[in-house]
Amino acid sequence: MAQRTYRIAIVGTGGIAGAHARAVRDSGRGRLVAAVDVDADRARAFAKEWDVPRVFASLDELLGAEELDLAHICSPPDRTRRWRRGASRPASPRWWKSRRSSRSTSSTS
């Protein structure tokens, strides 16, 4: 039986996002389908480097246009909380965040 391939977005394309993209690629179980960042140039550069077909400037744009299975939230802790709040609506994907963000927000989550 073939394993399922998950449709994955990277939310926040700076810093640690490359490590997350590498993990998705190396897993063999995921396909990066979108990148989200408020910095459009950074998002486009990330998408080009990691062969991500779609780029969005906001979580609302992403969720309105893509059917996702997972998203890696790779933004700083102050933005991570905002992304999670926005993702709490029905039909949102399961949200993964970087360990760094989870450590920084564990007392407020």
Domains annotated on the chain, with CATH: 6-69+88-101 (3.40.50.720)
pLDDT tens profile 50-78 = 999 999 998 888 888 888 898 898 887 66
Torsion of CA 68, 96, 105, 74, to 10 degrees: -80
Report how far apart, in Å, the C-alpha atoms of 109 and of each of 3, 72, 101, 103 are.
32, 17, 11, 10
44 has a pLDDT exceeding 90: yes
Indicate the pLDDT class of residue 26, thresholds 50, 70 and 90: very high
What pTM was computed for the model?
0.72
16-20, 54-58, 75-79, 85-89: segment of lowest average pLDDT: 85-89
Quick one: angle between helices 40-50 and 17-27, nearest 10?
30
Give the C-alpha separation, 10 to 62, whole Å: 10
pLDDT at position 8: 95
Give the C-alpha separation, 58 to 73, whole Å: 13
Half-sphere exposure of 84 (CA within 13 A, CB side): 18
91 has a pLDDT exceeding 60: no
**Which residues have C-beta within 8 Å of that of residue 75, sequence separation ≥ 6?**
11, 12, 14, 83, 101
pLDDT at position 109: 35
